[in-house]
Chains A and B, each alone.
Chain A
Amino acid sequence: MQTKTVYKPTEGLTERDLTYCPGCTHGIIHKLVGEVLVEKGLIGEAIGVASVGCSVMSYEFFNCDMQQAAHGRAPAVATGIKRVKPEHTVFTYQGDGDLASIGLAEIVHAAHRGENITVIFVNNAIYGMTGGQMAPTTLIGQKTSTSPVGRKKKGAGEPMRMSELMATIPGATYLERVSVHDPKHIRKAKKAIEKAFDVQTNEQGFSMIEFISTCPVNWGIQPNDSLNWAVENMIPYFPLGVYKDATKDGNDEK
């Protein structure tokens, strides 16, 4: 009997077991990024920057040269790499605590300078690695270990919308928010990643794809219900879509 391979793990990822919790969508996002890097022939020459948070170990998973950055500094580290290795594909992989809180200056200024890098931004509305504390992206009323009765607008402010904020930056070229809660959206998310790396390959500047992600363990919700929770609570506040596309007319700075 002949067997036909219909599915196999991407060579864009190493054979290491992922360290993510069951039901978390980091695994799907890793796979998509790995697939795109392989399909575009970039995996052998890419340099990835891991951040601090749940994805700190991503330097063990992406099957290319990797550098692990201090908390929030991945865009600065990627800037240093890309400036001395402009012919190589450089990407960061960051969570919402890393990118939207401690690393806000670095992400904003990397975009402002129009650094020709790609940012994979995973937003699960919570600090996962440290055990479920409130993030800048935590929703109003959402309970976390540092907002035990739910996030309050007074004192904590409203959740930060990064794609919208970044869309005001002249130097940013491509910004899209996607979700991976069902196959249709996963396919769309992959297209967004392809677009982002194309922007870099074509030397068109800064690209960032924001992923609506889940954290079943720290949300205290079953994996399937977590996907529904993201759809019902996160997507209304963080609408999906392209927030900026300056690939046709060139970005405002050029």
Chain B
Amino acid sequence: MAKVLMKGNEAMALAAIKGGCDAFFGYPITPQNEIPEYLSYHMEQNGRVFVQAESEVAAINMVYGAAGSGARVLTSSSSPGIALKQEGISYMAGSELPAVIINVMRGGPGLGGIQPSQGDYNQITRGGGNGDYKLLTFAPETLQETVNVVKASFALADYYRNPVMIAVDGLIGQMMEPVDLDQPIEEKPMKEKTWAATGEAEKRGHRNKIVSLHLDPYELEKHNLRLKAKYDEMKATEQRYELINMENNPEIVFVAYGSMARIARSAIEALKQEGIEVGMIRPIVIAPFPEKAFDDLPGSVKTLLTLEMALGQMLQDVQIVNQGRYILDFYGRAGGVVPETEEIVEKVKAVLKEAGHAN
């Protein structure tokens, strides 16, 4: 299919249908409303399930129910709504159910605002709900990357029997960009869902139970360790990132994802015009954090400058990974303020000046 001009939220909704989504359960919240709006018509047109739930809490529990029956299920929301969904997300992680959750992030805390933000990084990567669990989380940069990730995420969720989150900021949800919905993507192989509670106990010859309760602590610990083995497999195989402009031996390297990475690209171009080469590590998956990206940087690199539409949340992961290898610096805007390219350029110059490179 040729490229079409689509709004981010609608493109994600269509990508979900193309990714084999059987059912959507959601609740209105800005800035993601075009996702349920689009699906309310198109899911039914495609013979699939759409329910507008009474709350985010109910929506995620409908997702839990449908996923337990073996369906490919999607919900979408934005930051405060994602906070409400944490109960069901934790239950799905505990019961090992696959589902896809789109988070179109806005400013917080509390009701916050409705402008783009990356302030949910900690909520997403540190669990969010109760217990020892992790989500596989994508943080794509362009609409094309976003739709490819949405399409692939259903098979990934099935493969790991774990919820997958697509974390984009409101900019990606709201902007329009040409996108090819039929670009070939790499998909995990299908496995039969022999574990699902499909209502076929008689046919199957035994009952299936979807449960996250383990009252015996030794049994629960075994379960926790089994989950950890799964997260370890994700860490080994799902670290996805892009390295940018490393061939020009930069002294400063940005660490940025999502819309922030797009702005950082513009800054890299602007600085290049002035003879300053800056590189970038762009995490595509933010959980598990792409540690490998930090291992093969050119010898020229002295400073890692983390950029966020938040006040230093991913920075903590960079600190953990860095292990004292590089000087760390940070620039971020919060509350829904989107940084200008010039702010990033000025920050780079300030860092260089401090390092003794008078410019």
Give the B-binding residues of A (Cβ under 8 A): 14, 43-47, 49, 56-57, 59-60, 63-70, 73, 76-81, 83-85, 88-90, 105-106, 108-109, 113
Given contacts A68-B212, A84-B69, contact A44 B202 (CB under 8 A): yes
Contact A67–B66 (Cβ < 8 Å):
no
A113 to B50, CA, bound (A): 13
Nearest first, the 6 A-B pairs at minimum CB distance are A44-B202, A80-B65, A88-B199, A80-B62, A77-B65, A80-B66
Contact A105–B197 (Cβ < 8 Å):
no
Closest to B52 in A: A113
Contact A45–B213 (Cβ < 8 Å):
no
A80 to B74, CA, bound (A): 11
Closest to A89 in B: B199
A51 to B49, CA, bound (A): 24
Complex interface bits, B190-213 against A, C-beta within 8 A gives 1, otherwise 0: 000000011111110001111111
Chain A residue numbers with a CB within 8 Å of B88 are: 70, 73
A80 to B51, CA, bound (A): 9
Given contacts A65-B209, A68-B211, contact A80 B64 (CB under 8 A): yes
Chain B residue numbers with a CB within 8 Å of A88 are: 198-199
Q: Which of B35-89 contact A (CB under 8 A)?
A: 49, 51, 53-55, 57-59, 61-71, 73, 87-88
Of A43, A70, A84, which is within 8 A of B22 by CB? Answer: A84
| B289 in contact (CB, < 8 A) | no
Contact B207–A69 (Cβ < 8 Å):
no
Closest to A82 in B: B65
Most B C-beta atoms less than 10 A away, residue of A63, A84, A85:
A84
- Could you list 17 A-B pairs, sorted by A, with CB under 8 Å? A45-B201, A47-B69, A59-B209, A64-B199, A67-B209, A68-B209, A68-B211, A70-B64, A70-B87, A73-B61, A73-B64, A76-B53, A78-B65, A79-B62, A81-B197, A83-B62, A84-B73
Given contacts A47-B69, A81-B69, A84-B66, contact A66 B209 (CB under 8 A): yes
Closest to A59 in B: B209
Chain A residue numbers with a CB within 8 Å of B71 are: 84
Most A C-beta atoms less than 10 A away, residue of B65, B202, B207:
B65
Chain B residue numbers with a CB within 8 Å of A66 are: 197, 207-211
Measured between C-beta atoms, what is the minimum distance from B80 to chain A in Å? 17
Interface residues of chain A: helix, strand, loop or mixed (majority): mixed
Given contacts A65-B201, A109-B54, contact A80 B213 (CB under 8 A): no
Contact B199–A85 (Cβ < 8 Å):
yes
| B91 in contact (CB, < 8 A) | yes
Chain B residue numbers with a CB within 8 Å of A108 are: 54
With contacts defined as CB atoms under 8 Å apart, how many contacts are there between chain A and chain B in the complex?
A: 135
A76 to B66, CA, bound (A): 10
Contacts A64-B201, A73-B58, A84-B22 known; 7 new A-B pairs at CB < 8 A: A47-B199, A65-B207, A66-B208, A67-B68, A84-B66, A90-B199, A105-B58
Of B73, B198, B202, B208, which is within 8 A of A80 by CB? Answer: B73
A65 to B212, CA, bound (A): 15
Measured between C-beta atoms, what is the minimum distance from B52 to chain A in Å? 9
A109 to B57, CA, bound (A): 12
| B138 in contact (CB, < 8 A) | no
| B280 in contact (CB, < 8 A) | no
Measured between C-beta atoms, what is the minimum distance from B292 to chain A in Å? 36
A45 to B58, CA, bound (A): 25
Closest to B49 in A: A83
Contact A83–B64 (Cβ < 8 Å):
no
Chain B residue numbers with a CB within 8 Å of A47 are: 69, 197-199
A73 to B87, CA, bound (A): 10
Given contacts A73-B88, A76-B61, A89-B199, contact A64 B66 (CB under 8 A): no
| B23 in contact (CB, < 8 A) | yes
Chain B residue numbers with a CB within 8 Å of A79 are: 51, 58, 62, 65
| B254 in contact (CB, < 8 A) | no
Of B61, B63, B68, B207, which is within 8 A of A64 by CB? Answer: B207
Q: Which of B243-273 contact A (CB under 8 A)?
A: none
